[in-house]
Structure 1
Amino acid sequence: MSLLTLNQMKTDIGQYAVLHDVSLEVPEGGVFVLLGRNGAGKTTTLRSIMRLWKPAPGSVRFDGQDITGLHTADIARLGIAYVPENMGIFGNLTVEENLILATAKGHFDAARLKRITTLFPALERFWTKQAWSLSGGQKQMLSVARAIVEPRRLILIDEPTKGLAPAIVAAMAEAFTEISREATLLLVEQNFHFARSIGRDMAVIDDGRVVHSGSMAEFAADKPLQDRLLGLS
């Protein structure tokens, strides 16, 4: 069953048409990866789902409900979280304060907090440190932790491995695999090695259109197709 369905979604930013009839089905469970060259429209797709950019005619359905006209806050209340490329954390607040802001009632559920610190042990070590003092990898961990501090059905994550050291990327892959057991992940990712290591399903966006979709295993086995769509060679 599809958890998220995009049907002919179009998005204009100023005078520029960025997305052209994007249609996509994201199954429930596991990791779905959006691939594509720089400027292809991947980030705009995530932002349009969250209504941070307002798409033109077309529809977005989540768990069977049309959410096209909802405000961003209402979309989030349905159980959708968004981790932007710039991470969206508050540098002058501590790790603890950043996470408290992401809770619904201003306090932690003990079981979920334990899950977060198990997935990202560094956050517990730097619990009282201001977020600006964390490394790039630790900031990314914090941004993902904010998205899972409450139960979610769908988590949109934009370029989670950008600029991270290989060891941190490997740790992030393990964490995402674990998180995907309870929530569907929709990732925008440039690191194809990382994407194929955790992705179950995928799609390629080029020039604002979905030009290919299918299983990650099949795409990873087709090197000529990778070269044609992504220029990986």
Structure 2
Amino acid sequence: MTLLTLNAMQTNIEQYAVLHDVTLTVPEGGVFVLLGRNGAGKTTTLRSIMGLWRPSPGSVTFRGEDISALHTAEVARKGIAYVPENMGVFGGLTIEENLILATKTGKFDTARLNRIYDLFPALKTFWGKQAWSLSGGQKQMLAVARAIIEPRDLILIDEPTKGLAPSIIDAMADAFREISETTTILLVEQNFHFAKSLGRDMAVIDDGRIAHTGSMADFAADKALQDQLLSLSA
């Protein structure tokens, strides 16, 4: 079942056209990975879905509804969460306060909070610590936890492993697998080992255009295609 559709989406930032006729279908369930070189348009795609930048022309359809003209807060209320590359946590607030801000009512659902503790035990350990004092990995855990503190249908996650230690990356992969059992993840990632361990479906964006779509298993098995599209040895 299709969850998200991008149809001929073009996004301009000031006088520059960053996305050109981006058409993409994200099925419901699992992890969909968007790959591409630096500057290819991956982050712009996520921000355009979230309403932070307005695609024109083109459209973003979520569960059959055109959400292209909605403000970011309205997109979020549709059940979409965004974890940006810079994590976006509030350094002067504690873990608890950061999570409270992400709830609808200012109160925690006990079951969801316990699930977060299970996924990210460090957040329970440092519950009262201000976010600025956390390690990079702990801040990333907090950013993801904010995205799932309320029920979501789709989470957009941008470069979650950037600058993280291998042990933290492994823990993040385990958490994403569990999250993706109930919530679809659209993942932008440069770490191909991490991406292929999680992804079911994938696409490559290059120079603001979708250059390839398919299954992650097929793409991971085709080194020549990886080199052609990503200019890397995966």
Q: Secondary structure at the match of 2:177?
A: helix
The 2-side partners of 1:69 and 1:182 are apart by 27
The aligned residue for residue 128 of structure 1 is: 128
The 1-side partners of 2:10 and 2:136 are apart by 33
The aligned residue for residue 103 of structure 1 is: 103
The aligned residue for residue 12 of structure 1 is: 12
Q: Which runs of 5+ in 1 are unaligned?
A: none
Deviations along 1:39-64, whole A, 9 cap, x unmatched? 00000000000110111110110011
The aligned residue for residue 78 of structure 1 is: 78
Deviations along 1:176-221, whole A, 9 cap, x unmatched? 0000011000010000000000000000000000000010000000
Matched, 1:213 2:213: yes
Deviation, 1:139, is: 0.1
Deviation, 1:67, is: 0.6
Aligned residue pair count: 233
Q: Secondary structure at the match of 2:128?
A: coil
The aligned residue for residue 188 of structure 2 is: 188
Q: Secondary structure at the match of 2:75?
A: helix
* Superposition pairs of residues 56-71 of structure 1, within 5 angstroms: 56-71=56-71
Amino acid at match of 2:18: V
The aligned residue for residue 92 of structure 1 is: 92
The aligned residue for residue 151 of structure 2 is: 151
Deviations along 1:90-133, whole A, 9 cap, x unmatched? 00000000000000000100000000000000000000000000
Percent of residue pairs bearing the same amino acid type:
78
Deviation, 1:232, is: 1.4
Amino acid at match of 2:230: L
Deviation, 1:89, is: 0.6
The aligned residue for residue 38 of structure 1 is: 38
The aligned residue for residue 113 of structure 1 is: 113
Amino acid at match of 1:80: I
Deviations along 1:133-170, whole A, 9 cap, x unmatched? 00000000000000000000000000000000000000
Amino acid at match of 2:65: Q
Q: Secondary structure at the match of 2:82?
A: strand
The 2-side partners of 1:157 and 1:10 are apart by 21
Deviation, 1:26, is: 0.2
Q: Which runs of 5+ in 2 are unaligned?
A: none
Amino acid at match of 2:179: I
Amino acid at match of 1:150: E
The aligned residue for residue 201 of structure 2 is: 201
Amino acid at match of 2:55: P
The aligned residue for residue 168 of structure 2 is: 168
The 2-side partners of 1:108 and 1:90 are apart by 18
Q: What TM-score do you get using the length of structure 1 for normalisation? A: 0.99
Which 4+ stretches in 1 moved above 4 angstroms? none
Deviation, 1:10, is: 0.2
Matched, 1:2 2:2: yes
Deviation, 1:231, is: 1.1
Amino acid at match of 2:223: K
